[in-house]
Amino acid sequence: MLPSLFISHGSPMVALHSGDTGRALARLAGELPRPKAILVVSAHWESADLRITSAPRQEAWHDFYGFPPALYALDYEPPGAPALALEILERLEDDGLVVHLDPQRPLDHGAWVPLRLMYPEADIPVLQLSLPSQHGPALQTRLGRLLGELRGQGVLLIGSGSITHNLGELDWHAGPEMVEPWAREFRDWLVARLAADDEAALHDYRRQAPWAVRSHPSDEHLLPLFFARGAGGAFAVEYAGFSKATIAMDIYRFG
């Protein structure tokens, strides 16, 4: 059975200069059984309601600005998974949720950047489930649990966000060994609570975790973690590191 993953996707520039993150993702993809399909919940598709991509083919959306032209020249065009999208819709509707198929939405960089590093051939069907971020961690845990059985059908479930995400406090001159104490303290608290399987504390992280609001002024980049945790099993850290002193680039595996 495939695990579920949480990936800190970092800047879009990771697609060009992947460094340790790219090596960790490539290694992980090589260790896993080849997925039949991939479902991603990304921090960059916030929505009022639940939506799922249903196009027969996907393409990369360059949903950012101000980067070098070489980044905009990159593409990622995997097949879609319309039949799987319908199956997921039915599973969620059976649990009382309202879900809509979206045949227009392309893949945002929270999805295609890490997938391009893991599966560069773009030959595995991919779809995205949107993030109704106003409903917080509990909904993401519920969604993960409802869809966790797909792991046994060869579907790789991925939450893509960031363990810390305060762009206002980046240190552009920091080397990889430099980490702000508050960012490390938040990351370490989160890892300890994940290892202890302390769901109550995790769902209440904005009150209980040290430096929670400083680490996440808004919580859309952490919410995909709860989807991955809800879908998977035992917790393991696949990669840990920081970028620009404040952005944790951790990759976690569940199951």
pLDDT score of 220: 98
- Mean pLDDT, residues 86-99: 98
pLDDT digits over 165-175, tens only? Answer: 999 988 887 77
pLDDT category at 193 given cuts 50, 70, 90 is: very high
pLDDT at 184 over 90: yes
Question: What gap in Å lies between CA 4 and CA 254, rounded to an integer?
Answer: 5
Question: What gap in Å lies between CA 85 and CA 178, rounded to an integer?
Answer: 42
- Average model confidence (pLDDT) across the chain: 96
pLDDT at 26 over 90: yes
For the record, the structure tokens of 196 come out as 């202890």
Q: Does domain 4-254 have CATH number 3.30.70.980?
A: no
- Mean pLDDT, residues 44-57: 97
Contact 2, 28 (CB under 8 A): no
pLDDT score of 118: 98
pLDDT score of 176: 74
What's the longest Cα–Cα distance across the chain?
51
> Which contacts (CB < 8 Å, 24+ apart) does range 168-176 have?
168/217, 169/214, 169/246, 170/244, 170/245, 170/246, 170/247, 171/244, 171/245, 171/246, 172/244, 174/244, 174/245, 176/20, 176/241, 176/242, 176/243
pLDDT score of 102: 98
Question: What gap in Å lies between CA 248 and CA 84, rounded to an integer?
Answer: 32
What percentage of residues in the chain have a pLDDT greater than 90?
Answer: 95
What b-and-e string marks burial along 53-65, b requiring 16 or more CB atoms within 10 Å of the CB? bbbeebebbbeee
- Mean pLDDT, residues 184-195: 98
- Mean pLDDT, residues 180-200: 98
Among 44-58, 66-80, 126-140, 159-173, where is mean pLDDT lowest? 159-173
Helix and strand tally (H, E) in the chain? 10, 10
pTM to 2 decimal places: 0.97
pLDDT score of 49: 95
Question: At 154, which amino acid appears?
Answer: G
Name the helix (H) or strand (E) containing 247: strand 247-248
Question: What gap in Å lies between CA 228 and CA 40, rounded to an integer?
Answer: 9
Question: What gap in Å lies between CA 228 and CA 254, rounded to an integer?
Answer: 7
pLDDT score of 169: 87
Domain ranges of the chain: 4-254
pLDDT score of 175: 77
